Amino acid sequence: MSGGRWIITCVLLSMPLSGSAQTLGGPGPVPTAPRSHGFLTAFRTNVDVTHLGGADADERFNWDADLSVDIDVVDAGFFRGSLFVDIETIVGSQIRNVDPNQNNYTADMSAFLRLPHGELMTTFHHVSRHLSDRATETSISWNMVGVGYGHRFSLGRVDLDANGRALWTIERAGVDYDAQFDGQVRLTLPLKERYALTTSAGAVAVQIDPLESGRDSRTGGHVEGGLRISTGVTTVDLFVALEQRIDAIPGSEDLARWTKLGIRLTAPISRRP
């Protein structure tokens, strides 16, 4: 493995793995994709449902569900442009047995430049957060711009995906975030036929505006392991994870830690060049 690959791997693995925030350091567009040519060359969907456990998984936090769509709008071989949208719903039991109490929306418009090794990204990143069935007059959202890098390679039989981003806030409402730095690494070990073992780790650091609030910068992250099953139409991940989430409730300064037991369905649909 080249020296550059060692640097990327070591930097990401040395980041504080204190647990993956969704709205901060959460889902995003795939950092690398097969080379193609044309319009609407790839359409990827992801459904992720997890049960939350642990001391911080109280009646506000029972389930976490994500639905995301990642589209390669244009691909010119050396360049591609993508649109990514994610909708997250937090379900608790505070008011009723099944109580969807929070919705978070993420949208990324990104451009990728394919390098001899990996892809360089520039992106516009938007997040808005909303409480459900609760009275509120506060608007919570923020826009960021930034850059990132992703690379995929193999170490023997193990496939490794690594990526990182640096984002800076250009507009915000109801939050004190100045910047966000996140990265993650995922290892996949193929087993017989359609099965594989997966493990991933990620971290996020959020820089806080000192003039907006008196609190310090925040860190979060996750570690995850599971079994991947390929059906031919989709991949199914059965996984367990530990997570530390920054500002778990909109408008609060909660730092929640919980365990996760979940299932993830991923369906990539790509058009060959």
Helix (H, G, I), strand (E, B) or coil at 8: helix
**Contact at 8 Å (CB) between 238 and 263?**
yes
Distance CA(179)–CA(190), nearest Å, equals: 37
SS (H, E, C) 19-41: CCCCCCCCCCCCCCCCCCEEEEE
Q: What pTM did the predictor assign?
A: 0.87
Residue 270: CB partners within 8 Å, gap ≥ 6? 34, 36, 41, 42, 43
Residue where the block lists tokens 């994500």: 66
Q: What is the pLDDT along the chain (273 residues), one digit of tens a residue?
A: 444 444 333 433 333 333 334 678 888 999 999 999 999 999 999 999 999 999 888 899 999 999 999 999 999 999 999 999 999 999 999 898 999 999 999 999 999 999 999 999 999 999 999 988 777 767 899 999 999 999 999 999 999 999 999 999 999 999 999 999 999 999 999 998 899 999 999 999 999 998 887 788 999 999 999 999 999 889 999 999 999 999 988 777 778 999 999 999 999 854 444
Domains of the chain: 3-270 (2.40.160.40)
